Structure 1
Amino acid sequence: MLLLYNCFIRLYYILIFFVSFFNKKAKLLLNGWLNNNFNTYNQSIWFHFASLGEFEQGRPVLEKMRLAYPSYPIVVTFFSPSGYEVRKNTQLANAVYYLPLDTAKNAKEFIETINPVIAVFTKYEYWYHYFNELNKRSIPLYMVSAIFRPKQVFFKWYGALHRKMLTLVTHLFVQDNESKLLLQNIGINHTTVSGDTRFDRVWQNAKNPAHLPLIEQFKNNKPVFIGGSTWPEDEKLIAELVPLHAEWKFIIAPHEITEDKILALVSMLPQNEVIRFSEIKNMALPLGNFRVLIIDNIGMLSSLYQYGEIAFIGGGFGAGIHNTLEAAAFGLPVIIGPKFQNFREARDIIKMKLGFTVNNLTDLKPIADKLINDNAYRQKIGADIKTYVEDNTGATQAIINVIRLKG
């Protein structure tokens, strides 16, 4: 199994090399691997995140550790360019790198260079050689906000190597009891049900959101429907609602902001009523005159929700929905596509009737009509979904209570 794993890692590098000639993300990843320039530390605290979403999820733990152990430099690594490129200059870390490819040589050299006293991984990202090297050096490794499902490789007959990785983790902080029971069934007992640190992060953000004066001007005291991290399938549905609700405004923040994707979105919308955020400084009309605002940058979405009344969270027609909790923390009822089953909070929200799932415009229209036209109904759901988020906070403190540095 390890031989196959090593072959896969090398084949993955070759694939990224060839794809990098025509794919921007692959090129960024390859360049990141080639241009990493590591600082040497006598001791450090190492946080690894797959991407931007996992960074925000693990951020509360990172912030607490930074406050508790200010003398230790923080090293952050990312696997994905979408995380690294946005957070490479974060003030929460002393150094930010792309995680080198998972080979025995790379793992040994990287860990020798940064000398972590502990390593903290968020949600997933299981890399055999890094885990093994940490274990050989008796460096504690923690997995926070982990979640497990029966279909994952750990629970398959061919998952021996991945099960071995779980034994190399010092402690797994899991989101729910189902995950704990699945792990117990394969002999993994070093677990704690701590919950999901995303609740702490979004609740913290909702209490102190960034003030966005231009968004306030666009809102102009009108109700706003927000599309967050949308894909073309989501945008087609939202675009159909725009002419049906003339008294409402719409903000759409696409997941991908390449020029072709933005232009395709613009083409679906009333041309005299839409403006891109990047165009605001050159506009001739007052911002409040526009009905649709497209956010063609990264980093605003988590604070945008404070200006909304309803949110449509994208991704539910593809690999899976994006972060529903950011909107829920501000008390917005959420609408999502059909692929949400892998997300505990989405299952909870749908079960509690605090959110809605749709397959098409036929599903969406009556739900949107009800939420838009019945203020009392919308506000009751908003209050309840906000309470749901608050009731599920506390995972960060539960984790910090267990993680302790020696000395």
Structure 2
Amino acid sequence: MQGASMAKQWLLNLLYAALLLSISPWILWRRVRQGRYRNGWSQKLLGALPQPAKTLGSNRSYTIWFHAVSVGELQVIRPLVERAVRELPTAKLVVTTSTDSGYELAQKLYHAHTVAYAPLDFTWAVRRALDRIEPDLLVLAELELWPNWISIASQRQIPMAVINGRLSQNSLQGYRRIASIVRGIVRKIDWIAAQSDTVRERFIELGYDPAKIQVVGNIKFDGANDDRAHPEVLARSGPLGLRDGRSTVWLCGSTQDPEERICLDTFGQVADEFAQLKLILVPRHAERFEEVARMVEATGFAWGRRSRMHSDGLDPSWRIFLADSVGELRWWWGMADLGFVGGSFGARGGQNMIEPCAYGVATCYGPNTRNFTDIVQILHEADAASQLASPEELKPWLVGMLQDESLRTRCAGRAVSITQKHRGATDRTWSKLVSLLESKDLRSPKD
């Protein structure tokens, strides 16, 4: 049995190597043209992750490894990392991610802890990373089914949990094609915290033990800030001159091509009629900041951008602001009256619409929200947000909200109410993670 397992792992190594070789021209192109994929290769390919610092003043401590593939997942683990800091002050926390933007944000959010790129799923990289980190618990955000990583961690009897677990219908259909392989992987995970009953049933359909999966809700409801007076919000709204309440702010967040053009065109059609309206654009990907800046410049409106405020200042009469920064969207939402959530007019499958709703932003998004089906259903049933069938519906929605303040207020109130109702997933998740740690029975001093 051991030999068969080793053979499967090395077969995967060969497949990964072939795949990496086949996409290397694309990686090289993006490295040269966009500055991506330049860092962390020793960690990714060789597992040379930094070792967590020794904890002083304690006989023993746990080591918890949180893995969040990119920016969105890093925000998901945030309440759990904060809970670990409060309740397990001697614990060593490691946060890994897989993307450049994720690493940049992780360095900002978790600078007090060990931050690294995650190893690719090569056996040697995974083994070396586990040797260096020596985790007592491996926490995977949302869905990370890496066969070698999970298998080797299981062999070492390291408890593993998938938190805020989600599994879209499209992903389920894809996994069905390799059901026998996926079944063997997923069964090695000790616990899955599902976002909803639908997600739970999908994991069970993949072969997961129903007794080891629990519906806890969506941590994003807990992680969403709802305080417009938060210092991080005020630090951004103040320099933009938005504290006097005389402007109406329409924020378009996590936008992707061609959504910036759609939003700019829509704004241009209504800007003269609604002189108090200002547009804030927050593109999803940093490599598109310059492209979007050229689009904004071409509109002819007075505008500014986050990255040049200190050097160029900001025209007090600005109508469009480009928030060309990573990991700050949760604070930009706190100054918006109206919101469009991007990734929903293209093929992305939507982005997090909980954050604007928590602030009481009257929110809309496009038809493609397959990655947030359960959240959209919750918001739809509460009449707390609007789903638009096409870009042509964006202008009528915006004009309707601008003309009818009472409509906007009612929509915002329902959004706040439903997000507050669904809080609590963090508590339920943390309780189980603690029990998994205790199952290790590491009560003796740890070197």
Determine the C-alpha separation between the residues in 2 that align with 1:93 and 1:12: 35
2:351 aligned partner: 322
Structure 1 residue 347 displacement after superposition: 3.2
Structure 1 residues 84 and 98, CA, compared in 2 at 3 Å: closer, same or farther? same
1:278 aligned partner: 307
* Structure 2 unmatched runs, 5+: 1-7, 55-61
Q: Which moved more, 1:63-72 or 1:137-146?
A: 63-72
Aligned residues: 405
Structure 1 residue 78 displacement after superposition: 0.8
- Please say if residues 138 and 161 of structure 2, whose CA atoms lie closer than 8 Å, have aligned partners that are also in contact: yes
Structure 1 residues 279 and 149, CA, compared in 2 at 3 Å: closer, same or farther? closer
Aligned pairs for 1:298-377 (under 5 A) are 298-316=326-344, 317-343=346-372, 344-377=374-407
Structure 1 residue 115 displacement after superposition: 0.8
2:266 aligned partner: 241
Report whether the alignment pairs 1:106 with 2:117. Answer: no
1:25 aligned partner: 36
> 1:295 is matched with which residue: 307, 323, 341?
323
1:46-80 alpha-carbon deviations (Å, 9 max, x no partner)? 11111111010111112112222221211111112
Structure 1 residue 19 displacement after superposition: 2.8
Amino acid at match of 2:222: D
Structure 1 residues 297 and 2, CA, compared in 2 at 3 Å: closer, same or farther? same
Report whether the alignment pairs 1:79 with 2:72. Answer: no
> Counterpart of 2:164 in 1: which secondary structure?
strand
Structure 1 residue 349 displacement after superposition: 2.0
Aligned pairs for 1:139-218 (under 5 A) are 139-153=158-172, 155-185=175-205, 186-189=207-210, 190-203=212-225, 208=230, 210-213=232-235, 215-216=237-238, 217-218=240-241
- Please say if residues 195 and 215 of structure 2, whose CA atoms lie closer than 8 Å, have aligned partners that are also in contact: yes
Q: Which moved more, 1:52-61 or 1:291-300?
A: 291-300
- Please say if residues 209 and 303 of structure 1, whose CA atoms lie closer than 8 Å, have aligned partners that are also in contact: no
Q: Which moved more, 1:201-210 or 1:367-376?
A: 201-210
2:59 aligned partner: none
Structure 1 residues 402 and 204, CA, compared in 2 at 3 Å: closer, same or farther? farther
Report whether the alignment pairs 1:6 with 2:2. Answer: no
- Please say if residues 45 and 120 of structure 2, whose CA atoms lie closer than 8 Å, have aligned partners that are also in contact: no
Determine the C-alpha separation between the residues in 1 that align with 2:113 and 2:350: 32
1:9-39 alpha-carbon deviations (Å, 9 max, x no partner)? 2133324543332213233464653694521
Structure 1 residue 165 displacement after superposition: 1.5
Structure 1 residue 93 displacement after superposition: 4.8
Determine the C-alpha separation between the residues in 2 that align with 1:313 and 1:257: 17
Structure 1 residue 169 displacement after superposition: 0.5
Structure 1 residues 121 and 92, CA, compared in 2 at 3 Å: closer, same or farther? farther
Determine the C-alpha separation between the residues in 1 that align with 2:190 and 2:14: 27
> 1:399 is matched with which residue: 397, 404, 429?
429
Structure 1 residue 282 displacement after superposition: 4.6
Determine the C-alpha separation between the residues in 1 that align with 2:40 and 2:295: 27
Report whether the alignment pairs 1:226 with 2:255. Answer: no
Amino acid at match of 2:38: K
- Please say if residues 232 and 265 of structure 1, whose CA atoms lie closer than 8 Å, have aligned partners that are also in contact: no
Determine the C-alpha separation between the residues in 1 that align with 2:181 and 2:107: 32
> Counterpart of 2:38 in 1: which secondary structure?
helix
1:39 aligned partner: 51
- Please say if residues 228 and 254 of structure 1, whose CA atoms lie closer than 8 Å, have aligned partners that are also in contact: yes
Q: Which moved more, 1:134-143 or 1:156-165?
A: 156-165
- Please say if residues 366 and 387 of structure 2, whose CA atoms lie closer than 8 Å, have aligned partners that are also in contact: yes
> 2:149 is matched with which residue: 125, 130, 133?
130
Structure 1 residues 287 and 402, CA, compared in 2 at 3 Å: closer, same or farther? same
- Please say if residues 237 and 360 of structure 1, whose CA atoms lie closer than 8 Å, have aligned partners that are also in contact: no
2:417 aligned partner: 387
- Please say if residues 228 and 335 of structure 2, whose CA atoms lie closer than 8 Å, have aligned partners that are also in contact: no
Amino acid at match of 1:139: I
- Please say if residues 227 and 334 of structure 2, whose CA atoms lie closer than 8 Å, have aligned partners that are also in contact: no
Runs of 4+ with deviation above 4 angstroms? 1-4, 34-37, 40-43, 204-207
Determine the C-alpha separation between the residues in 2 that align with 1:93 and 1:162: 36
TM-score by length of 2: 0.83
Determine the C-alpha separation between the residues in 1 that align with 2:162 and 2:229: 27
Determine the C-alpha separation between the residues in 1 that align with 2:84 and 2:94: 12
2:5 aligned partner: none
Determine the C-alpha separation between the residues in 2 that align with 1:22 and 1:143: 34
Structure 1 residues 30 and 105, CA, compared in 2 at 3 Å: closer, same or farther? closer
* Structure 1 unmatched runs, 5+: none
Determine the C-alpha separation between the residues in 1 that align with 2:222 and 2:228: 10
